[in-house]
């Protein structure tokens, strides 16, 4: 699981440009599935026929994309003005960060007006993205245009690595850890028929229905297990309730996350975790987001939805943290769910 997660997190896949991630997934799962479809928006829908067909068609659902940036304008003196691609990105978390621009991975640094040039009032206000720029070392617009183009996607310059005591540090962990779990289910999971969806365009909030919705519609499943990340706010000064969940305390089994999860599915997943000694935790604060779940739930005539989530600190940054044991617990629990649907 760890090696798959690291390989996925090393790939560039900003919303709307998930090609690298999709290519990796397709190459990896093709020998193990019976059919693969890629819809017009880039979502992958893979069908695996097992020796057992469950009474209800089940799909496992995660997303490939990550938050990032896009080149919007280039100043006369060679600086890159950019926009954020993705929702709930804290502008404070991007200042001073190293980035890579476009297919040639041109290095840059996100900058802002020096603090000694700001007024006392300006220092009390969170900087706006419009006030930031990316410095690529170009002295003129003409020179900058030799390296980058309008519309180029931009990612954090951050490679996955082992961190601290049993953690992994990487960008895009929330979605890619879920994709890693689905890949392992396809390669090594129970021999039960299922559909696996790797969705495009999730990180742009209410437009996530653009990627997740058609993919779920195409899959025609009756039950969906969304395998994704959830914010872990287990930080100094944060109350136990407001922490949502904690890194290293196991897989998260939420009862709602945008959608109201099917109560019988929630109870089943919790029971399977207890019976198989899989560490799990509840989500203390229901997420107001959960766009994948919300979208899937309303597909066709309705889909029973539940989730199994990886606790992730600092999501939507270049340095998210997750526990390896939590990622493995998510896979173990998803595997038990599939096995149970197959009557094993």
Strands (DSSP E) contained in 104-175 are 106-111, 133-135, 153-156, 161-163, 167-170
Residue 6 inside a domain? The answer is yes
Residues 240, 286 within the same domain:
yes
Amino acid 294: pLDDT: 65
pLDDT along the chain (344 residues), means of 10: 93 93 97 93 92 90 92 96 85 90 95 76 79 95 96 95 96 94 95 93 59 67 88 91 92 81 91 96 72 66 84 92 97 95 76
Round to whole Å and give the CA distance between 290 and 205. 9
Residue 215 inside a domain? The answer is yes
Residue 252 inside a domain? The answer is yes
Percent of the chain with pLDDT over 90: 62
Residues 180, 225 within the same domain:
yes
- Beta strand 44-48 pairing with 80-85: unpaired
> Could you say which of 156, 179, 197 is where a domain stops?
156
> Could you say which of 156, 183, 211 is where a domain stops?
156
Round to whole Å and give the CA distance between 228 and 295. 14
Residues 137, 230 within the same domain:
no
Question: What length does the chain have?
Answer: 344
Round to whole Å and give the CA distance between 325 and 228. 15
Q: How many domains does the chain have?
A: 2
Q: What is the pTM of this model?
A: 0.90
Residues 61, 77 within the same domain:
no
Residue 184's CATH number = 3.40.630.10
Residue 59: CB partners within 8 Å, gap ≥ 6?
194, 195, 196, 197, 216, 219, 221, 223, 224, 225
Amino acid 35: pLDDT: 94
Domain housing 88: 68-156
Residues 53, 180 within the same domain:
yes
- Beta strand 304-312 pairing with 320-323: unpaired
Residue 164 inside a domain? The answer is no
Amino acid 29: pLDDT: 97
**Distance, CA of 320 to chain centre:** 11
Residues 45, 191 within the same domain:
yes
Residues 34, 106 within the same domain:
no
pLDDT in tens, 88-110: 777 888 889 999 999 999 999 99
Residues 293, 224 within the same domain:
yes
Residues 199, 319 within the same domain:
yes
């Amino acid at each position: 699981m760890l090696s798959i997660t690291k390989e996925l997190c090393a790939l560039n896949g900003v919303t709307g440009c998930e090609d690298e991630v999709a290519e990796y997934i397709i190459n990896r799962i093709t020998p193990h599935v019976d059919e693969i479809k890629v819809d017009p928006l880039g979502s992958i829908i893979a069908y695996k026929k097992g020796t057992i067909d469950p009474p209800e068609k089940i799909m496992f659902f995660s997303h490939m994309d990550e938050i990032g940036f896009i080149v919007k304008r280039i100043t006369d003196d060679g600086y890159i003005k950019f926009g954020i691609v993705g929702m709930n990105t804290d502008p404070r978390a991007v200042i001073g960060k190293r980035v890579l621009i476009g297919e040639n991975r041109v290095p840059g640094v996100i900058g802002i007006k020096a603090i000694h040039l700001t007024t006392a009032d300006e220092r009390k206000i969170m900087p706006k993205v419009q006030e930031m720029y990316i410095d690529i070392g170009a002295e003129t617009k003409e020179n900058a245009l030799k390296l980058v183009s309008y519309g180029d996607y931009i990612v954090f310059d951050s490679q996955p690595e082992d961190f601290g005591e049993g953690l992994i540090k990487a960008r895009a962990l929330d979605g890619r850890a879920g994709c890693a779990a689905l890949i392992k289910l396809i390669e090594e999971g129970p021999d039960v028929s299922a559909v696996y969806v790797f969705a495009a365009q999730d990180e742009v909030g209410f437009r996530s229905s653009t990627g997740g919705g058609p993919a779920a519609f195409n899959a025609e499943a009756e039950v969906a297990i969304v395998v994704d990340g959830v914010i872990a706010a287990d930080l100094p000064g944060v109350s136990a309730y407001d922490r949502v969940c904690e890194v290293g305390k196991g897989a998260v089994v939420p009862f709602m996350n945008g959608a109201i999860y099917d109560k019988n599915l929630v109870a089943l997943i919790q029971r399977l975790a207890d019976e198989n000694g899989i560490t799990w935790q509840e989500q203390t604060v229901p997420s107001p987001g959960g766009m994948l779940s919300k979208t899937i739930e309303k597909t066709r005539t309705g889909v029973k939805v539940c989730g199994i989530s990886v606790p992730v600190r600092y999501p939507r940054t270049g340095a998210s943290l997750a526990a390896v044991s939590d990622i493995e617990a998510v896979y173990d629990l998803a595997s038990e769910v599939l096995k149970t649907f197959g009557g094993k």
